[in-house]
Amino acid sequence: MNKLAFLFIFLVIVLTGCKSTGKPRVSYVQPSANTPSATFIGEESPQKIFVKGHEYIYICKVGEGHQSKDSFNTETRIALGKAKFSVCYLEGGNFSEIPFEMELKNETTYQLKLGEHQYTKVNFYVVDTQTGKTIIGPMTVPKDSLFEPVILY
């Protein structure tokens, strides 16, 4: 095969690219300011020298819409009524997600709080900031590694 034919086939393969088989990730869009909503605020633990730290707990998914860990310190508003959302924990390569389905009835602000945790699991709870009462938790969920080991022989 001559070099020109090889170059042509190579360019066709490279320029046609790959087709993605997954669905595109949808970002969560908060309800408008005049929509009755419950508000959730995440939490970040401070970095500690030579020990664990920089842990985040936040609302990472509402319905089909996703949010990044950067949403931990901003309010996430969810319209009142039946809501499906996920609370996520992130620390280094450890990640946990727990889905919830609940009826949001009041325009209340909730604080997500980190509880006691170990290397393989984490506890968290949800507090109503107006009453100080814990409404969910403590809940214990396993930590999953975001990185699977690759073994090469």
Q: How far is CA 32 from CA 20, 23, 75, 128, in A?
A: 33, 26, 13, 22
pTM equals 0.73
Q: Which residue has the higher pLDDT, 86 or 141?
A: 86
Work out the average pLDDT over 118-144: 85
Report strand pairing: 43-44 vs 37-41: unpaired
Strand partners, 61: 66, 86
pLDDT category of residue 141 using cuts at 50, 70 and 90: confident
Q: Residue 121: exposed, middle, or buried by beta-carbon count in 10 A (0-12, 13-18, 19+)?
A: middle
